Amino acid sequence: MKRTGARLADGREILYYDAKDADDGASRAVPDTRDLDPSELATTSEVRRDPLLGDAVVIASHRQGRTHLPPADACPLCPSTPGRTSEIPAPDYEVAVFENRYPSLAGDTGRCEVICFTPDHGTSFAELDEERAALVLAAWTDRTAELSAREGIRQVYCFENRGAETGVTLAHPHGQIYAFSYVTPRTTRMLATVAAHRERTGGNLFDDVLAREQADGSRVVLEGEHWTAFVPYAARWPYEVHLYPRRRVPDLPALGDEARAEFPRLYLELLRRFDRLFERPEPTPYISAWHQAPTGGGHDREDFALHLELFTVRRAADKLKYLAGTESGMEAFMNDVRPEDAAARLREVASP
């Protein structure tokens, strides 16, 4: 992998990732000719604590003006052309990462980056080949390592939202990378449960969950030599899959070479199965989220298990899973599909 760095017109960082080292990088380090005001980067983000729950909540009112569902010929994530400049000055790229122009987190609150998986506006992650998927994994890993080492960063979160149904505001195949100045509420709850399990049993909860799913088998969707994908026992979403490396590691940089090499094939197969779930012409909307350990040391890091959670907000061909009053108001999830049935359906739509 080769990484080439440059700066956008307002001073934001942009990084190009290429699978091969043949190019000298000159074609990537194209200057950004747009007239952007660096002062517009100032944000009003702040982190507040919910006094009843203790959860951190980011207040980011400046994001109201961000780009929202532009037409394809005005996409800011496509490569720039002689007649149209975008967020990516280069005329072509493989994978590109840059600081978000409208970040939820900035300065003392953290950092937000956009990762573009391909220059092709009309495709999706599921349509990438294994080499490109491996390059995306390498970029996620590189950004996790670099951002985790920054002062004040407590957790790095790589994720993709696909489809307008998930709230996506740009249709181009892309994801985001958030570097939080705090440990997120979901991870905090996981760590508390893991610590209680260790105190009670002496074992690791992540290891025990994976072993139980492998032994039961009814919810296992896909297995490789180094990864296992399963529908969780108490899935919140109608179609939800968790992908675990068989050897527990805290984050993406800690993945072994063999697990890293196997990941693209298995992940692409999962995404393609999601697209075949409902027999609809348009791709299935989904959220794909890497859960990584907090930065630093101690049991929080040692006991955590890197894993990916993939789920769709669609529950049937013509129905979406909306968060109802019990879920939005009380976080009491109620699933319309038995996890065992969801797993059976995901096995049924395997690639021929």
Task: Catalogue the active-site residues.
Answer: 174
Task: Using DSSP, state whether 349 is helix, strand or coil.
Answer: coil
Q: Which residues 6+ apart lie within 8 Å of 284 measured at CB?
A: 163, 274, 275, 277, 278, 312, 314
Amino acid 81 reads T
Q: Which residues 6+ apart lie within 8 Å of 145 measured at CB?
A: 252, 253
For residue 82, what are the CA distances in angstroms to 67, 172, 210?
22, 20, 52
Q: How far apart are the first and last CA of the chain?
A: 31
Q: E strands of the chain, at which residues?
A: 2-7, 13-18, 46-49, 56-59, 95-99, 110-116, 155-162, 174-180, 220-223, 227-230, 239-245, 286-291, 307-312, 314-316, 319-320
Sign of the CA dihedral with 27 first, then 28, 31, and 34 last? positive
**Are the C-beta atoms of 259 and 267 separated by less than 8 Å?**
no
In which element (H, E) is residue 201 found? Answer: helix 185-201
Q: Report d(CA 228, CA 262) in Å as an integer.
A: 11
CA geometry: angle 313, 182, 61, nearest 5 deg: 65
Q: Report d(CA 243, CA 221) in Å as an integer.
A: 10
With tokens 């449960």, the residue in question is: 193
Helix 205-216 vs helix 185-201: angle between axes, to the nearest 10 degrees?
A: 80
CA geometry: angle 322, 328, 330, nearest 5 deg: 140
